[in-house]
Chain A
Amino acid sequence: MSRIAAITKKARQEGNKLLIPYLVAGDPGLPETVRLMRALVANGADIIELGIPFSDPASDGPVIQRGVERSLARGTTLIDGLEVVREFRQTDQTTPIVLMGYLNPIEIMGYEVFIQKAIEVGVDGVLVVDMPPSESAVLHGQLQTAGIDTIYLVSPTTNACRAVSIAGHSSGYLYYVSLKGVTGAALTDYESVRKNIEELRKLTDLPIVIGFGIKDGESARAMAELSDGVVIGSALVAEVAELADSEGISDEQISSSIAVIKNARNAINTIG
């Protein structure tokens, strides 16, 4: 059983909700990313989505765009992102890592080289934002052979027929995009999310996590109640941004820059 399957199964059995923070690899620097990941796990993160920076993040809002720009200004590459996972795995063999990003860096590296390296460093899942199932046959097939989960998005504009097909292609979990828009946009319409998740539940048994627009304990709790867990990206990247100009970042600074995750964990844990 993959690390993702193991953790989602355990969460369901115990009635826990998954907390999945998203970080941009290399923001503010590569060693800091590893330290942040460890701090996140210590504070209740179940899975980590590690963003691979891309120069043209067309699905991301301004907060993550700036995180990506900070990372790219330091020259972060896909290889660096994979090395972050290797470093993280030195001390953590259990927390699943999902690489999240855009297709071009993987295309240019070459699918085979990428997957070989991903297996080697201990990647568990891959989510390519701009690669729908219809374009992913080759990469998906190779990931499957390698035992790496391929995670796809379902959005409010996805019709039922397509949702079934996407769920059929997905392994690990299904990522439900809470709103029409980009990462970090304002999530206000909880009711439509509830309805859509209810519909989605009828179509698949895969764990469903909700992302986009979850920015604090309250929204995390509300969304986790409806689903198997939540992804928090922009709100965390905004806190990490405060570290950008610091020299010699202390453990206290690392700890205070993940406050949104601590709050989210506490809020989610109050779900009865």
Chain B
Amino acid sequence: MSEVKAMAFEGPDDSGHFGPYGGIFVGETLIAAVAELEKVYKELSGNKEFWCEFDKELKHYVGRPSPLYFAERLTNYCGGAQIYLKREDLNHTGAHKVNNTIGQALLAKHMDKTRIIAETGAGQHGVASATVAARLGLECHVYMGAEDIVRQAPNVYRMKLLGANVVSVDSGSRTLKDAMNEALRDWATNVDDTYYIIGTVAGPHPYPQLVRDFQCVIGREAREQSFEQIGRLPEALVACVGGGSNAIGLFHPFLKDKNVSMYGVEAGGHGLDTTEHAAPLNAGIPGVLHGNRTYLMTDDSGQIMETHSISAGLDYPGVGPEHAWLKDIDRVKYVAATDSEALAAFHKLTHLEGIIPALESSHAVAYGMQLAADMDCSQCIIINLSGRGDKDIETVAKLEEIDL
């Protein structure tokens, strides 16, 4: 990789762009709030004490570092590269999402905000936000599409147990994107006392940057663990991509390791040849939504399309702007796994390793298994197991017509 390309990983630039992507596309009322956040984050992220506080939270509250686990039986089944799983499913609250909410809660605390809002699709980010809000004694409102509230009932109840107010969003397609619109409306209305915890590497600058920085703990650990356990870097990394926070967290610390290939796996839904998927990097075009320019699922007249995925957490028409950039400069290869491939992988991992993966993560497992099968047994790959699948067992049972 050339020197010019190495510079390409230093983003975002001062105005919050990754090449042509990212930026700040919000209404005027929110500009001051975004600017304040940028200023505070710039100060704190240069401050060692802040990161010590963050690391301490991750260690004692989240339970990090998460293991890098050699999936021996899955490896034997695939018959190719050795498969390692980065076990984000073992984090407190059951997914990688909490890495980010811990970080942003610290920012909220430093900014003296008393009220937290969040959007959620599958409910994992909502639970992780409600969790940190409970711990810090902050008021918490989670916006969730009415459709998703039905699909993810256990997580709705978890949020309520944690003291959060779950607000049902009935506008638009009643899913994650609409929940994000509603959270942006709340933020504009309550901008003085409210901190908006965005759950993925999207939204206006500085969110894509700060969420990435908090999630990079995944890749930093995985890199160290690779040297300890494998004695070298892996040949490839695989992670699912909805908004893309777990993927960027794993990939980013490896971007300059030119021999490490990276695969982001989008939700292929019923197939990329249909319109029922959520794979903007594979089948979308650049546009502007939710504060940033990125690849989107948008129709010819610029309306955002409804997406489909078996997993609520990947059911989003956009993707983080840094992924859009990494696609364009060809550093990461973006592929897709269909609903049925993800479901098959869900079962396979459960049977062979005794680990029930989230349906989101099952997309990464599905592609990782294919990839490993085509590689040599002397090679290694790391699949990010971004979350556990307990929340999904009702969905899976229903799909398979099993009455619980």
Chain A residue numbers with a CB within 8 Å of B301 are 77-79, 105, 108-109
Q: How far is the CA of A60 from the CA of B189 in the complex (A)?
A: 11
B300 touches A56 (CB 8 A): no
Which of chain B's residues have a CB closer than 8 A to the CB of A131?
Answer: 25, 288
Distance A44 CA – B8 CA, assembled complex (angstroms): 55
- With A56-B290, A181-B188, A182-B185: A103-B25 Cβ-Cβ less than 8 Å: yes
8 Å CB contacts to A: which residues of B293-315?
A: 293, 296, 298, 300-304
Q: Are A69 and B29 closer than 8 Å at their CB atoms?
A: no
A58 touches B303 (CB 8 A): no
Residues from chain A with a CB closer than 8 A to the CB of B178 are: 56
Taking a contact as CB atoms under 8 Å apart, the answer to whether A134 and B181 are in contact is no
Contacts of A72 in B (CB 8 A): 303
- In the complex with contacts A104-B298, A108-B287, A55-B303 CB distance below 8 A: yes
A135→B31 CA distance, assembly (Å) = 12
- A119 CB → nearest B CB, Å: 20
Of all chain B residues, the one with the shortest Cβ separation from A75 is B301
Complex Cα distance A177/B31, Å?
13
A159 to B180, CA, bound (A): 26
Q: Is the interface of A mostly helix, strand, loop or mixed?
A: loop
> CA–CA, A108 to B304, complex, Å?
11
List the A side residues contacting B288 at CB < 8 Å. Answer: 102-104, 107, 130-131
Indicate whether A78 sits within 8 Å of B31 (C-beta atoms), given known contacts A56-B172, A56-B290.
no
Which of A57, A159, A162 contacts B181, CB < 8 Å?
A: A57
Q: Which B residues between 17 and 68 are near A, CB-CB below 8 angstroms? A: 23-33
Knowing A131-B25, A157-B32, the reply to whether A108 touches B302 (Cβ < 8 A) is yes
- Measured CB to CB, the closest approach of chain A to B355, in angstroms, equals 36
A55 adjacent to B189 (CB under 8 Å): no
Is the C-beta of A201 less than 8 angstroms from some C-beta in chain B? no
9-residue interface stretch from A148-156, A227-235, A245-253, A263-271:
A148-156
Q: Is the CB of A69 within 8 A of B303?
A: no
B191 pairs with A162, CB closer than 8 A: no
Query: B85 within 8 Å of A by Cβ?
Result: no
Task: Name the B residues within 8 Å of A135 (CB-CB).
Answer: 23-25
> Does B352 sit within 8 A of A, measured CB to CB?
no
Whether B27 and A130, one on each chain, are in contact in the complex, defined by CB atoms closer than 8 angstroms, is yes
Bound form: Cα–Cα A31–B55 in Å: 61
In the assembled complex, A62 has its CB within 8 A of some CB on chain B: yes
B171 near A: Cβ within 8 Å? yes
Indicate the member of B26, B178, B288 with the most A CB atoms within 10 Å. Answer: B288
Query: For chain A, which range describes its interface: under 10, 10 to 19, 20 to 34, or 35 or more residues?
Result: 35 or more
Residues of B within 8 A of A62 (CB): 171
Q: Mark out the residues of chain A between 157 and 203 whose CB falls within 8 Å of any chain B CB in the assembled complex.
A: 157-159, 162, 166, 177, 180-182, 185
> Does A152 lie within 8 Å of B181, measured CB to CB?
no
Q: Which of B185, B190, B192 contacts A58 (CB 8 A)?
A: B185
Give residues 3-40 of A contacting B (CB, 8 Å): none
Q: Verify if A222 is at the interface (C-beta below 8 Å from B).
A: no
| Cβ-defined contact, A162 with B27, below 8 A | no
A181 CA to B187 CA, complexed, in Å: 8
Q: How far is the CB of A187 from chain B (nearest CB, A)?
A: 12
Q: Which of chain B's residues 178-219 have a Cβ closer than 8 Å to chain A? A: 178, 180-181, 184-185, 188-192
A106 within 8 A of B: yes
A155 to B178, CA, bound (A): 24
- The answer for the CA separation of A181 and B27 in the assembled complex, in Å, is 10
| Residues 52 to 85 of chain A near chain B (Cβ within 8 Å) | 54-62, 65, 69, 72, 77-79
User: Is the pair A104, B289 in contact by a Cβ cutoff of 8 Å?
Assistant: yes
Is A132 engaged at the interface, CB distance under 8 Å to the other chain?
A: yes
B171 touches A58 (CB 8 A): no
* Minimal Cβ-Cβ distance residue in A for B32: A157
- A129 is an interface residue with CB less than 8 A from chain B: yes
B285 interface hit (Cβ, 8 Å):
yes
Q: Which of A119-157 contact B (CB under 8 A)?
A: 129-132, 134-135, 152-157
Find B285's partner among A106, A108, A134 (CB 8 Å cutoff).
A108
Contact A177 B303 (CB under 8 A): no
Q: Report yes or no: A58 in contact with B189, Cβ–Cβ below 8 A.
A: no
Q: Could you tell me the distance in whole angstroms from the C-beta of A184 to the nearest C-beta in chain B?
A: 11
Cβ-based interface call for B348 (8 A): no
Tell whether, in the assembled complex, residue A59 and residue B27 are in contact, meaning their CB atoms are under 8 Å apart: yes
CA distance A104 to B295 in the complex (A): 11
Q: Give 1 or 0 for each of A87-121: 1 = CB within 8 Å of chain B CB.
A: 00000000000000011111111000000000000
Known: A104-B288, A108-B287. A177 touches B181 (CB 8 A): no
A132 and B289 contacting across the interface, CB-CB below 8 Å: no
Determine if A157 and B29 form an interchain contact, defined as CB atoms under 8 angstroms apart.
Answer: yes
Kindly list chain B residues whose C-beta atoms are within 8 Å of the C-beta of A162.
31-32
B15 within 8 A of A: yes
Q: Are A132 and B31 in contact (CB under 8 A)?
A: yes
Cα distance, A59 to B181, chains bound together (Å): 8
Nearest opposing residue in chain B for A108, CB measure: B302
CB neighbours of A156 from chain B (8 A): 29
Asked if residues A158 and B172 are in contact (CB atoms below 8 Å), the reply is: no
Q: Quick one: given A55-B172, A182-B189, are A107 and B29 in contact (CB under 8 Å)?
A: no
B177 and A56 contact, CB distance less than 8 A: yes
B188 contact set on A, CB distance < 8 A: 59, 180-182
Q: What CA separation (Å) do A156 and B304 show in the bound complex?
A: 30
A153 / chain B contacts, CB cutoff of 8 Å: 27-29
Show 10 A/B contacts (Cβ-Cβ < 8 Å), sorted by A. Answer: A65-B172, A102-B288, A108-B301, A109-B302, A132-B24, A132-B28, A157-B28, A157-B30, A157-B191, A158-B32
9 nearest A-B pairs in the assembled complex, by CB-CB distance:
A105-B302, A77-B301, A108-B302, A181-B189, A157-B32, A153-B28, A59-B27, A155-B29, A58-B184
Contact surface of B with A, Cβ cutoff 8 Å: 15, 23-33, 171-172, 177-178, 180-181, 184-185, 188-192, 285-291, 293, 296, 298, 300-304
Given contact pairs A56-B181, A130-B27, A180-B190, enumerate 9 new A-B contacts (beta carbons under 8 Å): A58-B184, A58-B185, A59-B188, A77-B303, A78-B301, A105-B302, A153-B29, A162-B32, A181-B188
